[in-house]
Structure 1
Amino acid sequence: MEQKKILSRCPLFSGLTEAEMGAVLREMQVKEKDYEKGEILLFAGEVPRDFGIVLEGGIVILKEEFSGSTTLLSQGFPGEIFAEAFAASGEPSLVTVEAAKKTRILWISYGQMMRPEGGGRAKGRLVENMMHILAEKNLFLANRVSHLSRRTLREKVLSYLGEQAAKQGSREFDIPFDRQKLADYLAADRSALSAVLGKLQREGVLTFRKHHFILHTEDEAVHEMEKGDHR
């Protein structure tokens, strides 16, 4: 029962009834596998045929640098998908996936999922959902490249915050990152990011508290600076 609840929260199964989800999983002959903490699920350089969904526990996604150091790129929790882009493209994985704790994974063959025969409406919805997931991740990466291409950290911060304001249709918005995750996303040092945000706030360009931001117009920026001068 708990597994069905977790899968129902996974975007891959959006719009499917519990019965449809069960039928399509049986048709694709999915596999479950348990891993101990520290065990490798996917090695960098490996070409996966399957993608995974975390059922229990959690994973870490690691990037091994040429220097020999390892960078934590992201984490995965129950209900989240990983390795789908590599399974879809047939390209070698650029990352290593490791169990962060005792973990159970549901492995799904990308080839089985994309086979046209069988599954009916549920199979078609599953494929549609996967295309949406891949498109969203591509857009996320394209936006990140756009922000990282800016010359200075100040420009990167303003580029990212401007995108969030446009996406949410307001100059007052919340971002999905805490300070460390935002620093990681912008490939910046956390203390340097905090310094830039502090300076932008003193200049009246923005105000923020934790993950809540307000971007100011030029007139508002002048007013905010004047308020700061009188404090």
Structure 2
Amino acid sequence: MIDYSLLNQCPVFRGISEDETRNLLGQIHYQVRKFQKDEVVVFAGDTVQDLLIVMAGSVRGEMIDYSGKTVKIEDIEAPKPLAAAFLFGKENRYPVTVTANKKASVLAIPVPEFLKILQLNTLLLRNYLNSISSRAQFLSQKLNFLSFKTIREKVAHFLLQQVGDRYHSFELKNTQQQLADLFGVTRPSLARVLGGMQAEGFIKIEKKTVTLLDKNALNELLRNG
């Protein structure tokens, strides 16, 4: 059985009524796959043949680095899709190995079947395109941050990017944990850098409002990096 109210919280199905979602899935073939704790859902390098959506439990994406060490990339909770941006294209293979953190249930819609319902519902198509575009933008930001050596440089770049040339303050929409994940650092490390920048008079943070008190100093951080 599919929990349609939960499925409609998935970015791909968001905004579509439960009745319409039920109607769409009623016109295609799909599977609900069950996994035990630490069971592999997909292996890195496997061809992506289905749109996979976590419907219960959670899974983790992991990579093996050059030393042979397993590195966790992220946890994916229900009702998030897995590798939605890799359904199409020449190299449509899973970039990471996905393993169940605990008992998990995954909805699997074969790519040809997913194409059918994309053509049947324009909101579903728009949601899917928005989902993969947002992911591409997130990865683009990650690549940007990789070019900076220190956390201070990454934070300075992010802050200057948020305000642009005309403004000095902005409303922070991310939590500290989300920012830490974006920068690829721990939350305590990020908190120390933000605290240091406030102590030095570079920025001021009041609740969710961040004000850049010395944009020149932040730009100098990037120039001297």
Residues 69 and 174 (structure 1), Cα distance of their counterparts in 2 relative to 1, 3 Å cut: same
Distance in 1 between residues matched to 2:33 and 2:132, nearest whole Å: 24
What is the match of residue 96 of structure 2?
95
Instruction: State the shift of 1:196 in Å.
Output: 2.3
Q: Specify the SS of the correspondent of 2:71.
A: strand
Q: Specify the SS of the correspondent of 2:44.
A: coil
In the alignment, is the contact (CA less than 8 A) between 1:50 and 1:84 conserved in 2?
no
Give the paired residue count: 213
Within 5 Å, give how 1:1-231 maps onto structure 2: 3-89=3-89, 90-115=91-116, 121-122=120-121, 124-164=122-162, 171-179=169-177, 181-188=178-185, 192-208=189-205, 212=208, 214-218=210-214
Residues 158 and 40 (structure 1), Cα distance of their counterparts in 2 relative to 1, 3 Å cut: same
Gaps of 5+ in 1: 222-231
The one-letter code matched in structure 2 to 1:218 is D
Q: Between the two proteins, what is the percent identity of the paired residues? A: 27
Gaps of 5+ in 2: 218-225
Q: Specify the SS of the correspondent of 2:3.
A: helix
The one-letter code matched in structure 2 to 1:215 is T
TM-score for the superposition, normalised by structure 2: 0.81
RMSD: 2.8
Distance in 2 between residues matched to 1:120 and 1:151, nearest whole Å: 45
The one-letter code matched in structure 2 to 1:5 is S
In the alignment, is the contact (CA less than 8 A) between 1:62 and 1:74 conserved in 2?
yes
Q: Specify the SS of the correspondent of 1:105.
A: strand
The one-letter code matched in structure 2 to 1:214 is V
